[in-house]
Structure 1
Amino acid sequence: MLVADYLIAVWLVGRSTFAEAVAGIDRLHLLIWTGLIGLMGSGTLLEPDLATVTARVKLGLVLVLTLNGLQAMLLSKRMKAAAGVLNMRLLAWGAITTIVSQGCWWGAMWIGFITASARS
């Protein structure tokens, strides 16, 4: 997801067009979904203690991340259909999608790090 944020930053500073940024992000979907599957798989292999609040919060973050990813695919299709025309509604939707995604990714990673450190 950081690459998607980078592509938007490049567009914001005028070094690419909106259509180029959206096309680049569209190509990242497979990589992003692979990362999510890896996160879920590694979390399952670590056999989390579902009785703990942190494990349940992390599962909640991963669920929100998955749902956010599904709606992000719809957003991507809408942005492609806009053919590079700047639409404030789509940009706001994209900003919210990014904030939710980053919050979930970093939250889940932070919880995993803290949990692993506590076990050591």
Structure 2
Amino acid sequence: MSYIAVSRRTARRLESEKATRRLVVILCVAAAAAWLTSVLMAASMHVVGLPHTYALIAHILAMVVSFGAILLVDWHGFLWLIGRRELAETIRLDGAATPLIWGGLAGMLASGIFLNPHLTSAMTDVKLAAVLVLTLNGIMLIPLMRRLAHLPPTASFLDLTPGQRFHMLSCLTISQVCWWTAIVIGFINAEF
């Protein structure tokens, strides 16, 4: 057995990565539990009249806040990807938008309980699955965003490793597909 010296900086980085992985697991479990609780509570309630209307208003406002912030961050990230913005700007915007994104998602889960979703409908199942996937996808971005924060402020997309570029582009694609799926199905369900 041999001893390999590890610098303090490397040890801190490895511990930080372990802590980030633990955080991601904890957040994924908490998000899945919150999603499941919301779905189960929605299945056991039937709300009509003014409370239903208020819940619908809250749901749409929460969606606008969350999805609006997502679109802004994704657009700004795209501008960084093509060299029109610096990484530091994108990370700063992401930090400012994060409370809006997660607050909006929490608001949608809470208000969705009172919207009488058609849980026997395949389209509603797809919408609910899309919401769960987009939530977990957002959590999976945490390690990448932490790594990006350690890069030089002027780093470009091409400075990322191929794995980091794939991680970023796949999370962006999953996010947009899930958001648009959930929104379109939500509006279709509201009409019928």
- Tell me whether the two structures share a fold, i.e. TM-score over 0.5: yes
Letter of the aligned partner of 1:107 in structure 2?
A: T
Structure 2 gaps of 5+ residues are 1-69
Q: 1:78 is matched with which residue?
A: 147
Indicate whether 1:97 and 2:162 are aligned. no
Structure of higher CA gyration radius: 2
Q: Structure 1 length as normaliser, TM-score?
A: 0.85
Segment drifting more, 13-22 vs 55-64: 13-22
RMSD: 1.7
Q: 1:32 aligns with which of 101, 111, 116?
A: 101
Alignment check: 8 A CA contact 1:22 1:80 kept: yes
Write out per-residue CA displacement over residues 24-80 of structure 1, whole angstroms, 9 at most, x where no aligned residue.
Answer: 223221111112122222322202121111121111111111111111122211211
Write out per-residue CA displacement over residues 71-104 of structure 1, whole angstroms, 9 at most, x where no aligned residue.
Answer: 1122211211233442043222111111111111
Alignment check: 8 A CA contact 1:26 1:76 kept: no
Structure 1 gaps of 5+ residues are none
Indicate whether 1:63 and 2:128 are aligned. no
What is the aligned residue count? Answer: 118
Q: 1:115 is matched with which residue?
A: 189
- Percent identity between the aligned chains? 36
Alignment check: 8 A CA contact 1:7 1:25 kept: no
Letter of the aligned partner of 1:105 in structure 2?
A: W
Structure 1 CA distance for aligned equivalents of residues 139 and 81 of structure 2 = 25
Q: 1:49 is matched with which residue?
A: 118
